[in-house]
């Protein structure tokens, strides 16, 4: 595929393990617990990489050791933990890359998502859904990247419109989506603000976050809530919002195993400290 770039940018995941290499062997005095080592990890990484990106893993001329570690970990291990399908895994990756603004990597992962059967509408809607959490300029940056991928693959733009809300009904339609999941907690929290802010800020959240986005077609509610939680975990410092959206995920049918699998998928892209914070929140989440 001539348009295909390598995942995780030119400076990150550019190499493959050399299949003819002899692995480093431990000293005979150092026992190795082979029960926890998958003999198929190298082969699985090769197969998954080619499935996603349409080409074999290539060798980095500058950092072959680091790239081998990364590729075997991500494509030979992370992709096989939990029950998420590859479509969901690539949408999670796109959410993280959009949130982090690691835009060079967004090109190959948009291609990978299309390769495994994610629709252009689903990719677009996942990026749109980031707007209330990361801001519109970052979403516009990501859209520029994914739209170039779409055009390179002959996908006509603009994509089909999926908005369903009319201008005068944003609040009511938003409340219909917000209330079953989150009640009036935000209104209660903001009511002590001075003057117009006590009304304006929670109204804006309902109209914009829920009225403009949750009412859109093209992405089911379970996927939408899962991607929001992944975006919040990627941002960091959002523990209060993550706690609310962990419960929201449980309410729409995403169990804790699904949330944990999503955090494993995020790990290579956002690091363990943020994943650890998210795991603690998932552990404590419950529906009253």
CB 70 within 8 A of CB 84: no
Fold of 54-158+217-284: AhpD-like (1.20.1290)
Measured CA distances, 262 to 121, 125, 134, 231, 285 (Å): 21, 18, 19, 11, 15
Give the whole-angstrom CA distance, residue 94 versus residue 108.
Answer: 10
Cβ atoms of 64 and 236 within 8 Å: the answer is no
pLDDT band at 38 (very low <50, low <70, confident <90, very high): low
| Sequence-distant (≥ 6) Cβ neighbours of residue 167 within 8 angstroms | none
Express each pLDDT in 57-81 by its tens digit. Answer: 988 999 999 999 999 999 999 999 9
Q: How far apart are CA 176 and CA 214, in angstroms?
A: 10
pLDDT digits (tens, 9 = 90+) for 144-168: 999 999 999 999 999 999 999 999 9
Give residue-wise pLDDT tens across range 154-213: 999 999 999 999 999 999 999 999 999 999 988 888 999 999 999 999 999 999 999 999
| In the chain, where the domains are located | 54-158+217-284, 169-214
Nearest CA to 266 out of 114, 90, 123 is that of 90
> Is the confidence at residue 28, as pLDDT, over 90?
no
Strands (E) in the chain, as ranges, are none
């Amino acid at each position: 595929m001539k348009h295909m770039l390598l995942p995780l940018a030119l400076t990150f995941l550019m190499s493959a393990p050399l299949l003819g290499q002899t692995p480093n062997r431990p000293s005979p005095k150092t026992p190795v617990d082979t029960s926890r080592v998958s003999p198929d990890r190298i082969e699985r990484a090769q197969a998954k990489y080619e499935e996603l990106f349409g080409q074999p893993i290539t060798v980095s001329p500058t950092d072959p050791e680091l790239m081998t570690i990364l590729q075997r970990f991500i494509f030979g291990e992370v992709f096989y933990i939990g029950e998420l399908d590859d479509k969901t895994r690539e949408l999670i990756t796109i959410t993280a890359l959009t949130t982090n603004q690691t835009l060079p990597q967004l090109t190959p992962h948009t291609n990978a998502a299309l390769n495994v059967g994610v629709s252009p509408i689903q990719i677009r809607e996942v990026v749109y859904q980031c707007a209330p959490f990361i801001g519109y300029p970052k979403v516009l940056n990501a859209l520029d990247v994914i739209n170039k991928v779409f055009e390179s693959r002959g996908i006509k733009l603009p994509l089909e419109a999926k908005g369903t809300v009319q201008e005068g009904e944003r609040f009511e339609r938003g409340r219909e989506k917000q209330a079953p999941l989150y009640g009036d907690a935000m209104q209660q929290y903001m009511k002590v603000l001075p003057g117009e802010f006590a009304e304006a800020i929670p109204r804006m959240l309902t109209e914009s976050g829920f009225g403009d986005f949750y009412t859109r077609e093209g992405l089911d509610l379970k996927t939408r809530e899962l991607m929001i939680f992944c975006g919040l975990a990627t941002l960091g410092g959002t523990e209060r919002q993550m706690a609310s959206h962990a419960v929201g995920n449980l309410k729409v049918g995403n169990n804790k195993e699904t949330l944990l699998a999503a955090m494993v998928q995020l790990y290579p892209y956002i690091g363990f400290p943020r994943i650890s914070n998210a795991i603690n929140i998932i552990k404590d989440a419950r529906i009253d």
